[in-house]
Structure 1
Amino acid sequence: MALYERDYARNIPREESTSLESGRVEFMKKTYQLLAASMIAAAAGAYATMPFAAQVMEYKWFIFGAELLILFFGLSLSRGKPGLNLLMLFLFTFLTGVSLVPLLASLIAAGNGAVIGNAFLMTSVLFGALSLFAINSRSDFSSWGKPLFITLIVVIVASLLNIFLFKSPMMHVFITAGVILLFGLFTIYDTQNIANGAYDSPVDAAVSLYIDFLNMFTAILQLLGIFGNDE
């Protein structure tokens, strides 16, 4: 119950505080329901396009560009528009599932298909544990935003340098491990922000958590695939 014992609720009258708590519980419930639905949409995207892995690989940058357009423009323009914002959410998550197809197909082709389920289970346990920690912790993580964003930029730059310049497998392993740590911290930060009422819409909150989960899942999947191929 630490979520409802923070300073922001201590000077609020009891009846108003109870109503506030109830509203936040409902908001969190809707957020996690949308998060679960988003994962189903992503799984549907991956399943529907798995037979076309070669074509997905060929147009991967086009698909990635479509994801960014929806994330930065579609979801922003549809904010506060019920129905349309849900459409943007599920279109975005569906496309992220499509983007995973080349990685999933390569693992299956290499005989490492079992790591997909293992990665999802590991990510779910880690994500759930970090979310519970954020909700129940008395610590304030609101100051993490800027350092996490700067770290994200550093990771992106390092990834691009390694892809186009260094091409080092060992560097790739370290960057991938760093992504897991980074988005684990983002999970704590975003979850507490949601619990503290920093989001106006469960859709926006679900997008933040989904991105955290997706990046951790992809990174764990890559690490399991790398070490599985070494056996």
Structure 2
Amino acid sequence: MSTPREQVVSRGVYAVVPRHKVLTNTYALLSLTLLFSAVTAGASMALALPHPGIVITLVGYFGLLWLINKFSNSAVGILWVFALTGFMGYTLGPILNAYVTHFANGTQLVMMAMGGTGAVFLGLSAYALTSRKDFGFLGGMLAAGILVAFLAGLVAAFVPGLMGLSLAVSAMFVVLMAGMILFQTSAIIHGGETNYILATVSLYVTIFNLFTSLLQLLGVFNSDD
């Protein structure tokens, strides 16, 4: 018969295991989805496929996101995760082609954005993991900020000539996505997020938005227009 102390320790151990498993599964699935997204982006670039447009992109994104949430507790959800990340990779291909062809140093800009994204993600993730700080307090501010930035981005996309607004939106998304990395990693560590499928999608979207925002900022600062 175990003592009360042993029971507490036992409960503590079993409480840590699921969180560790969620973290491990999240990073494993995230790595695979990023690789798959890179392959679809590369194929989209090689085939010179056209961008589907903002309306189809939004419909596809939110539609697939709804399916992921609906099946997040089953293996089918993983298939929809790959469908979403593959779709987003396809939409990224034409954007990368535009930078490579429009700028003389387009390939360098893409690599700089990729390197910056990797450095920010790894640095902030490592900080959240090692410091063990709870960044749950950022949730409300991030949700409000992302909503404002998203709506402002739609205005900039549909109203031509608003370069200043577009630049501001990109800068906002860089800051907000940095906060999302801290928030989501912290949620996994402290048990606020127990579904690795949803955690993977959240981090993937964060990385995607961070990369495209950094790329746009680099493009603006390197433009002669």
Corresponding residue number in structure 2 for 1:164 = 158
The CA distance in 2 between the partners of 1:197 and 1:58, in whole Å, is 38
Amino acid at match of 1:132: A
Corresponding residue number in structure 1 for 2:223 = 229
The CA distance in 2 between the partners of 1:58 and 1:206, in whole Å, is 25
The CA distance in 1 between the partners of 2:158 and 2:59, in whole Å, is 19
Cα shift readout 1:65-124 (whole Å, capped 9, x = no counterpart): 12210112x102212221x11110111000011111221011111231122122111101
Amino acid at match of 1:127: F
The CA distance in 2 between the partners of 1:160 and 1:63, in whole Å, is 12
Where in structure 2 are the equivalents of 1:46-195 lying within 5 Å? 46-53=41-48, 55-59=49-53, 61-72=55-66, 74-82=67-75, 84-110=76-102, 111=104, 112-165=106-159, 167-195=161-189
Mapped contact 2:23–2:188 kept (Cα < 8 A): yes
Judged with a 3 Å threshold, the aligned counterparts in structure 2 of structure 1 residues 22 and 227 are, in CA distance, closer, same or farther, namely same
Mapped contact 2:22–2:194 kept (Cα < 8 A): no
Judged with a 3 Å threshold, the aligned counterparts in structure 2 of structure 1 residues 28 and 224 are, in CA distance, closer, same or farther, namely same
> What TM-score do the two structures reach when normalised by structure 2?
0.87
The CA distance in 1 between the partners of 2:162 and 2:69, in whole Å, is 37
Corresponding residue number in structure 1 for 2:192 = 198
> What TM-score do the two structures reach when normalised by structure 1?
0.85
Judged with a 3 Å threshold, the aligned counterparts in structure 2 of structure 1 residues 138 and 36 are, in CA distance, closer, same or farther, namely closer
Task: Give the RMSD, CA atoms, in angstroms.
Answer: 2.1
Corresponding residue number in structure 2 for 1:8 = none
The CA distance in 1 between the partners of 2:185 and 2:134, in whole Å, is 12
Amino acid at match of 1:104: L
Q: Which moved more, 1:157-166 or 1:103-112?
A: 157-166
Segments ≥4 residues shifted beyond 4 Å:
none
The CA distance in 1 between the partners of 2:59 and 2:50, in whole Å, is 13
The CA distance in 1 between the partners of 2:215 and 2:91, in whole Å, is 14
Mapped contact 2:142–2:180 kept (Cα < 8 A): yes
Cα shift readout 1:169-220 (whole Å, capped 9, x = no counterpart): 2232222111100111111111111112222321111111111111101101
Percent sequence identity is 25
Cα shift readout 1:51-78 (whole Å, capped 9, x = no counterpart): 444x532555324312210112x10221
Q: Secondary structure at the match of 1:57?
A: coil
Where in structure 2 are the equivalents of 1:21-40 lying within 5 Å? 21-40=16-35
The CA distance in 2 between the partners of 1:80 and 1:178, in whole Å, is 32
The CA distance in 2 between the partners of 1:162 and 1:221, in whole Å, is 17
Corresponding residue number in structure 1 for 2:3 = none
Structure 1 unaligned blocks of 5 or more = 1-11
The CA distance in 2 between the partners of 1:49 and 1:165, in whole Å, is 27
Structure 2 unaligned blocks of 5 or more = 1-6
